[in-house]
Amino acid sequence: MKTLSTTESGFEQQFEALLADRDTAQDVHAPVAAIIADVRARGDVALCELTAKYDRLTLTADTLRFTEAEIDAALAAVPADLLAALDLAAARIEAFHRAQLPNDICFTDAAGLTLGMRWGALDAVGLYVPGGKAAYPSSVLMNAIPARVAGVKRVAMVVPTPDGVVNNLVLAAAHRAGVSEIYRVGGAQAVAALAYGTATIAPVDRIVGPGNAYVAEAKRQVFGRVGIDSIAGPSEVLILADASNDPRHIAVDLLAQAEHDELAQAVLITDDAGFGARVAQAVEHELLSLPRAAIAGASWRDHGAVIVVRNWDEAVELTNRIAPEHLEIMLPDPQPVFACIRHAGAAFLGRFCPEAIGDYVGGPNHVLPTGRSARFASGLSVFDFLKRTTWINASEAGLQAVGPAAVALAEAEGLQAHARSVAIRLGNQPR
């Protein structure tokens, strides 16, 4: 774990190194390209062979998809308290995303043209859900519910089941989110199937959901054929906290991100060096009893940091440069600082709002921009499942008002057919 201070010489170089210390993306372009080509060429046969190879699971085209009976059995196996928790989370997620639904635009301007913009849902979306080391039913809700709220008619979900092990809560979350088309495949091969289709899996228009390096690279390679949400990197959290906080609370919040992945990054910015040291000590103490201590410890050791600043203006400046996926502002009055933050995927304000609330039951989406991409990207929302279509209705009088300018611009660009298509309607071109 690194300790930095803005008062020390060399801080800028240390800070830049902190920003860059996870730029070690695994190069899997060639094997992913080969997998995609194989699925395109051989469809279900390749999909089944690759599943046997990577997930040690023998499938046929007839067993790629979970049956309704299997989904019902999984649902029945989930304890009632967990189903209630899913219902609470789903209801809150749906309510927040339903509030995002935009209105169409239609107005007549001064020239007499009627202009508009119409929103419409995508036809089909593919949802990738990780399996194996960890499974995330919360991600099923976060990806599927906005699609359903947006009006997407078909949501196809792929989830690997290594060695045939099924996560019942993942299937229960899919059922709660209204997803019934579920396939037991994963990896780059599942992304290829969603993008190009096979005899069993029809292609989709957009693929969303997190995955490993192979899944991320596959999404990169099929982009253009289909839309994607983002190329997600390891999780990250930045916490701004003063000494009024309990050091253990902040330590556990840091570890809540560190336990995701050895490459995850957890950073504390504080105006009190002593408090920062107490948080670091509390992290080490919590690691002694944390089940995922090996993962969280590696993340904290290799990528974690405590940064001591002179004041919160400095903290704001550093936050905007980091552009974190998750931002906790653990201050007695967080709003003035939050008002100055331009770049963050999602913010959690006040000491009673740990980021983990947002992962499950807050309501806003937990699929967020990583790797400083919050500078130009946003979290998943209903807008990821909608398209905009603009339209114009022009009367003869409206064309007379604006058409001559269009003719002049088209002629200036040397596009005579463009100019003529307007001019003949103005009566300025011989037949």
Amino acid type, 233:
G
**Residue 97 annotated among the catalytic residues of the structure:** no
Q: Which of 94, 217, 259, 325 is flagged as catalytic? A: 325
Can you spell out the DSSP letters for 222-258?
Answer: HBTTBEES------EEEEEE-TTS-HHHHHHHHHHHH
- Buried/exposed code over 76-104 (b: 16+ C-beta within 10 A; e: otherwise): eebeeeebebbeebbebbbebbeeeeeee
Please state, in angstroms and rounded to a whole number, the distance separating the CA atoms of residues 386 and 94: 16
Dihedral sign for Cα atoms in the order 36, 38, 41, 45: negative
Q: Which two structure tokens, joined as six digits, stand for 214?
A: 């192979």
Please state, in angstroms and rounded to a whole number, the distance separating the CA atoms of residues 206 and 227: 4
Dihedral sign for Cα atoms in the order 155, 365, 356, 20: positive
Q: How far apart are the first and last CA of the chain?
A: 78
Q: Which residues pair with residue 269 across a beta bridge?
A: 240, 307
**φ/ψ bin of 102: left (φ > 0), alpha (ψ from -120 to 50), beta (otherwise):** beta
Q: Which two structure tokens, joined as six digits, stand for 285?
A: 């103490």
**Residue 326 annotated among the catalytic residues of the structure:** yes
Q: Which of 175, 260, 303, 326 is flagged as catalytic? A: 326
Backbone angles phi, psi at 183, to 5 degrees: -120, 140
Q: Which residues pair with residue 35 across a beta bridge?
A: none
Please state, in angstroms and rounded to a whole number, the distance separating the CA atoms of residues 62 and 73: 19
* Residue 276, CA atoms < 13 Å, CB-side half-sphere: 20
Can you spell out the DSSP letters for 21-57?
Answer: TT------HHHHHHHHHHHHHHTHHHHHHHHHHHH--
Active site residues: 325-326
